[in-house]
Every structure is written in C-alpha cells, then in structure tokens.
Amino acid sequence: MALRSIIRRASSSINTNYRIWAQEKQNDTSQFTKSHLLNSGYLRDGQIPEALQYDHAYKLTTLSNGVRVATEPFDNAIATVGVMIEAGSRNETMANTGIAHFLEHLHFKGTNKRTRIQLESEIENMGGNLNAYTSRETTLYQMQVFKNDVSRAMEIISDMLLSSKYDKTSIEIEREVILREAQEVDADMREMILENVHYTAYRNHIMGQPILGHKTSIMQINRDQLKKFIYTHYVGPRIVVLGAGPISHDQLVDIAEKNFGKVAKTTEYPFDGEDPPEFCGSSIYVRNDLDELAHMGVFYEAPSWKHEDYWPFLLLQRIMEYDPNAPINTNYPYGLYNYMNRWFGDMKDIKKQECLFIPYRDTGMFGHYASGEFITSLIKPTIDRKQTYLEELSFEEIQRAKNKIYTELLAIEAGSDMIQTLGCQLIYMDKKVPKTEIASRIAAMDKKYLEATYKKWFSEGDTALAIYGPTSTIQRINEV
C-alpha cells in the first residue's frame, strides 16, 4: 500500500508537469522533445508515449491481377523487400501434408535461369541476406540488400517462386533434409507440445496437422503435386509484395508489375482448408518414462486476427508472461511482481512457463506451455482459477504490460520486422494498422474491460491439453 501511495503522489506530480509541458509544446514545431520519449513508469491512463504518436508513411497499390504492393519507406542504407503468400499448411490435404514447407526448401535449389550455386553466389555477391519461413497460413520470402539492388532482389525472389525447376534430384535431397528436420522438431519439447495442442484442438481440421507434415506424406510428395499447389495458391489476390527502408513506392510498383504482373488472378482448383476450424476441448498424452521432466500445454479458444478482442488478448498475454531471468525491478516490462508470475514462481517444480497467444484468420489459441518435475501443479491455476485471476490484478501490473507492448512497438524499426508485420496485417486485416492506433487501443483498456473480455472467453471455454512425460505424471493429471 505504501508503494502504491508513493506511485499515486508521483503520478499527480507528473501530471501537473505534463500540463505545463503541453502548454509549452504548442509553440514547439519540432516533432519530438529532447526529453525522454518513453517515461513508461508514469504514463497517465489512456496516454501513449510521444514516440508512438508518429509512424512511418505507408502506401498501397493493387495491380490488375490482384497482387498488392505495400511500402513503408524510411531513411536507411539497407532496404528490405519480400513477398508474403496467403498459403501454408492449412491449405494442404491429408495426402500432401508438409507440401507448403517442402516448396520453401525447393525454391532455394535452382530455377530455369539459375542453378542453386548461381542463385547462392548472386545473392552473396551483392551482400544480400535471404530468408524464408512457412507457417500454417502464410509463407514469406524476404531479402535485405543495399538500396541500389532492390530491383535485382525482387527479380531473384520472383524467379524462385515462379520458375523453380523442382527437379527429381533436388526433391529427393530435400526429402531427406525435411525428414531430419522433423526429427529435430520432435526433439524440441516446446515445439512438439504446441504441435500436439494443435492436433487435439483442431482434430477435425487440417489445421491440426504439423507444418512439416507426416513422414508418410513427405515420402510421397512429387513434382506434379508441388506444381499444382503453386498453380492453386500462388495467385494474385493471395500475394503481397512488400518493401521497407529506402524504397520508392512507385519504383516497387513498377518492379512488381514486371515480375508478378503475369501471375494468374484466379485458379481452376478449389482452395483447400478454407472452412473454419472448430476448437475441440480434448487432450492428448504421450508417455515417456525415460524423461525426468514432464511437458504440458494448456490452451483455450481465443480471438482471431479479425476479432475485436484480438487487441485485449495482446495485453492479456503480456500480463501473464513470465521471465525467470527478469531483474528485480518494479518498472521492468515483464514484471516479476505480476501476481501470476509470483504464483508460478512459488511452484518449485515448475522449471519453465510461457504464456502464448496464437491468432489465426478465423480462430485462435491462448494458454500456457510449461515444463517441470510435477507438472500437475500448473493445471489447477490455469484451469480452475482462470476465471478469478483478473480480480487480483492491480493497476500497476496492467500498466507494466502496456509498457511492454509500447516497447515492442518502438522496437519495430528493422525492415524485416516491418514487412512481416505489414504483410500479416494486410492478409488478415486487409489494412495496415499504425503503431499509433495499436498503442491507443491498448492505452484505453482498463481492468474492468480486461476482466469482461477474459470472462467472456474463459467462463465456459473448453480446454485443449497436451502432455508429454513419465507415467506417474500422467496418472496424477488424470486424478486432477
């Protein structure tokens, strides 16, 4: 109580100083003050940091075939360009699970114009950095280059995506690589638990299948299947060309027209996996008596990207985050003094705990991954007490979580982060959401609003539970 009293007195003083500063600011034409831009500890309720009151310019153009071209220019020596496709493991079938990820591998192995070695050499010679990833709903290829090499970089990416050879030798080589990669994922307990949570929660939908696919389907994927997936999903309206950094929007539009202007606008094949998945309350246990630690995922249905409750769930996730290595500092964004963090911290058998919010186009997941010797102690707080947790939440804890989001928004300055964020917003929300809007939405949320949102989703929500570990742990979980 004494600490809160001090905070209130300090806040009152800060507010008085803020009014004086605001009056002086009216005659100041500079964009930012010379004072600290982020006084996260004492932001007034509903106020956002000054640095988040401004955002980079943004432009969007749609080509005649539906390809969208979006840029977020800012001064820098390095430009980042990329292509995001609305296609992932969700768009597969049980007969070809893993094909979206398989394509990602093959796109680096040579095209009709370039061999694999030529492709790698050309990128290295211009100092480029090319990366790609495949998720359940999207695939992204991005490259960082000097600003004078933007046109060349986009031509290389388009060549990879639209003219790869998919020769038999490369297919067989990558098949073995992917099988080894799948084994590595199975050995990563966190990744394995998250895949099992998806499997049990979306057991009646392709969303429940692993991104890398099953061994049986990986062994059967062939060139015809690969090309059909391209013809089906790599069409104009599902492609977004992205640029961030020292890039002219008009220039990128011209480059996109040259390289993606002939992509088909429609396809003769139906899109797989478009039906919305149903979240299924269920559980899956994997027994391993040789492992000393148990691993668990407890998840509930959550909002999609487009749902109005997407924004409060971003804040709820930060509130429940736990970082055991965080410094003992009441203003540290992760906040060891968060009530739930103290809760988990007092459980000696919990070695690791992580709160996750995983939104998709028309569904989402929210919950915890944890590992420890006796994992049963995590189930009761995450299931039985989920409805009452926010009743014990303080204003300071909510403000700390807001500060964490403000910090994350201010940290999105790298071109790679920008185009990933921009691409997802355009695909899922059909628009760019400025940092200012995100920060303002978060700033407006109070305990009452969060509590109502929390109870709306969790008061009668089903639980998807995934467990891996020794038999004794599984038996105790059944008892709970």
Catalytic residues: 104
Q: Give how far Cα 135 sits from Cα of 87, 207, 209, 310, Å.
A: 8, 11, 12, 19
Q: Return all residues near 160 (Cβ < 8 A) that are at least 6 apart.
A: 107, 108, 111, 119, 141
- Cα(59)–Cα(28) distance, integer angstroms: 29
- Categorise residue 425: left if φ over 0, alpha if ψ from -120 to 50, beta otherwise: alpha
- Tokens standing for 157? 């990416």
- Cα(464)–Cα(320) distance, integer angstroms: 18
Q: Are 120 and 237 in contact (CB under 8 A)?
A: no
Q: Return all residues near 268 (Cβ < 8 A) that are at least 6 apart.
A: 231
Q: Are 243 and 79 in contact (CB under 8 A)?
A: yes
Residue 69's beta-bridge partner residues?
61, 241
Q: Are 282 and 198 in contact (CB under 8 A)?
A: no
- Tokens standing for 93? 């079938």
Q: What percent helix, strand, coil does the chain show, rounded to 5?
A: 50, 15, 35
Q: Are 210 and 217 in contact (CB under 8 A)?
A: no
- Cα(427)–Cα(240) distance, integer angstroms: 8
